[in-house]
């Protein structure tokens, strides 16, 4: 499993019985008392919120590129 900050990419390689499968997971996430799982610190300005969103997007972009490589190495991928 590849860990990046808030997210991890779990890759299960193809076998004779199953295709390659990829899943995005949260790393070390614990729900708060309301059942929500925060993905950022509390932001008190729009700039802070936009920075948090940009960091999450950067992590997801890296995971997307890695998933593309995983699927590219799979015979018969769609």
Asked whether residue 77 carries a pLDDT value surpassing 70, the answer given is: no
d(CA 60, CA 66): 10
Place of tokens 């950067």: 58
* Adjacent-strand bridge partners of 24: 9
Q: What is the pLDDT of residues 15-57, one digit of tens each?
A: 999 999 999 888 877 778 888 888 888 999 999 999 999 999 9
Q: Could you tell me which residue, 48 or 11, shows the higher pLDDT? A: 48
* Res. 75 pLDDT band, cuts 50 70 90: low
Residue 4 has pLDDT above 90, yes or no: no
* pLDDT the model gives residue 30: 79
What is the domain partition of the chain in residue ranges? 2-27+39-72
pLDDT for the residue 60? 93
């Amino acid at each position: 499993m590849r860990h990046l900050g808030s997210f991890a990419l779990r890759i299960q390689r193809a076998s004779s019985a199953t295709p390659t499968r990829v899943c995005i997971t949260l790393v070390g996430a614990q729900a708060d008392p309301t059942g929500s799982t925060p993905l950022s610190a509390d932001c008190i300005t729009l700039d802070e919120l936009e920075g948090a969103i940009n960091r999450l997007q950067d992590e997801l972009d890296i995971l997307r590129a890695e998933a593309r490589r995983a699927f590219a190495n799979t015979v018969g991928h769609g």
